Structure 1
């Protein structure tokens, strides 16, 4: 038993004892003559032969002498009440202290790295604040476990993505030394791999800033219609190389609040992803409308789409769906998009078109 149990136990038991003795003492002191007569073996005054009720006697002088003793007829109830109060105090103290001991053990286990521990099932029979605290602990432990697992996966993926270009750089340097006449060719390869690593590091820094909340608090008036126009104008060159066309259906004004730079990057990632995975000679549809205090944007391509089981995972860092061909990206663009949209109080989701292709939907609060 812990210290909290004994504190609850002693406090409750003493409170019950004091209440019980106080009530018994008040009853006994209010009728001191009746128990004394019963103890002496005589009948009560109102039933004595030839006697009169006590209220018929004129009041006499106060009596002096030793205080009356507690009669045995009151001692047994007091003793039984003490035992009952002792039992109930122990049960109540155990009822409150047991879940707290479980919580303490769970916190110790979580501090030691065992984030898979759960205590909500052990408190399922309770319906009080302590049970709610146990459920809150389970949610906290589950969230921490997912964050740590995501960090481990991220570290593994970053190491894997950096290892390949670094190996190519080392190979290019070795070949340049062995074949000086091809130095220019190897320098071009080194420049390409260096640019890829620079892009990867830049995306990782952006993702880290968003996860750390550094980008929070950037507030300015942003017209998403202007942002979309800039993105479509830039993406048109890449789409033209694939003989794709981008068609838009947008309101003239889409006012929002937030960071223009981050929102531009988030939407651009979705549009460029659609261009990259669209089939040649196909169309990309972009729709953006305001209504009910929300801004709704959809980007639909006509590519291979995504497996239904991967629709939620495509927003995770370094995830690549098996239904899509390998591209030049690292799988960080949509992860950055989700972080940015969530930081602005919005939501992003993905689904497959009935006729083939992927549809990414973004919803943001309107200014």
Structure 2
């Protein structure tokens, strides 16, 4: 047989072994204590005035008087039974002894005198009464309610001790195993939610069993992941800085050249357009990076229906330039707690994306309503939509749906920013194809609790 080498297995085996040892020791101590208490009471009863009273009755009236006393005396305690036995271990009232005491009475109370030497008498565990006719009787006191397992008090004591020990050890085992698992589960959930600083406490990672190894490996993985994310963000910041510096110089050069009439106006416009586009891309990259979960956002109570209505008014000019219009249908008093500028940016990106793909003469529809503890906002267009297999990917950075054609002039980060904005507000964003053609972007964010 090969013994398991698992430290966790050995730890639990030691706990269980210690529990059994403690139970045996405590049970034995409890049994000895209770038994000693009971035995002391019985011995005191045998040595009390009851035995002397029985001897007096026997001396005065013989066996008939003793039998009458045994049946009628009201001073005999209710928790004991008194037997008066003859030399044949028979009760003088003809009562049968409890089975568990028959051998005890035969060997330790009455005994076999013919087996003893003439000058030796064994210790008897019951007083001996001598009648007027010199016949001997044994005054035996037995406790009532005794079974082969002992008295009810003894049994109750053992059960109570067992339950206390088992409950204590079960609590220790559950705490020793459950607490590390709970901490590990919490850290995994935090990491899955985007909190890359989540770690398992060092006290658990230092354990010398499987849970400790797992916790240490998790912390190492989280450290590496945190480092990779930090490196990526640092790269984006550095890249943005390196791009903006030459762009600034290029803008200056173009401005000077324009003053000297050295550039064709069309070329100058083209250069300006590309510079603006590069600046827009860089700005979106910085905004996307700034939405990391470790960056604190400013939260306050605001009316979402007012924000959407104001946004629609601002974007109406752009919509008319694309030959479409914006329709808003929002319930009143839709309150949320969040960062006004971030929420405006998120909805603006969705709305501009819808306007960009909306066909001439169509409308972009904005609806907002409260469903339970969430506010649901939907922005829909009648554009070409996307392939169904691409729906779950349109919120990824730089993902461009097939078939969007020349209208896809964005930076590739607009919907990725949308996803991060609403995730930072404990919400979610999804896309679905609209019946009759087009795309619907749905946003769900928690409603504010107004008192």
TM-score (norm 1): 0.59
Q: 2-side partners of 1:162 and 1:49: how far apart?
A: 112
8 Å CA contact 2:378, 2:441 repeated in 1: yes
Of 350, 363, 383, 1:283 maps to: 363
**Deviation larger for 9-18 or 300-309:** 9-18
Report Cα offsets for 1:245-269 as digits up to 9, x if no partner. 2223234554333222122111111
**Matching of residues 1-367 of structure 1 within 5 Å:** 1=5, 13=17, 16-17=20-21, 20=24, 44-46=107-109, 48-50=111-113, 54-56=124-126, 101-110=209-218, 113=221, 181-182=262-263, 188-220=269-301, 222-251=302-331, 253-290=333-370, 292=372, 294-325=374-405, 327-367=408-448
- Structure number with greater Rg is 2
8 Å CA contact 2:434, 2:440 repeated in 1: yes
Name structure 1 gaps, 5 residues minimum.
Answer: 32-42, 59-92, 116-140
Q: 1-side partners of 2:22 and 2:237: how far apart?
A: 68
Q: 1-side partners of 2:322 and 2:363: how far apart?
A: 11
3-state SS, counterpart of residue 216 of structure 1: coil
Q: 2-side partners of 1:158 and 1:185: how far apart?
A: 33
Q: 2-side partners of 1:302 and 1:253: how far apart?
A: 28
8 Å CA contact 2:109, 2:125 repeated in 1: no
**CA 109–214 in structure 1, closer or farther in 2 if over 3 Å, else same:** closer
Report Cα offsets for 1:148-189 as digits up to 9, x if no partner. 99889989999999999999999999xxx9xx9547665544
1:84 is matched with: none
Name structure 2 gaps, 5 residues minimum.
Answer: 40-105, 117-121, 129-172, 182-206
8 Å CA contact 2:323, 2:359 repeated in 1: no
**CA 302–161 in structure 1, closer or farther in 2 if over 3 Å, else same:** farther
TM-score (norm 2): 0.50
**Deviation larger for 182-191 or 278-287:** 182-191
RMSD of aligned alpha carbons: 4.9
8 Å CA contact 1:305, 1:358 repeated in 2: yes
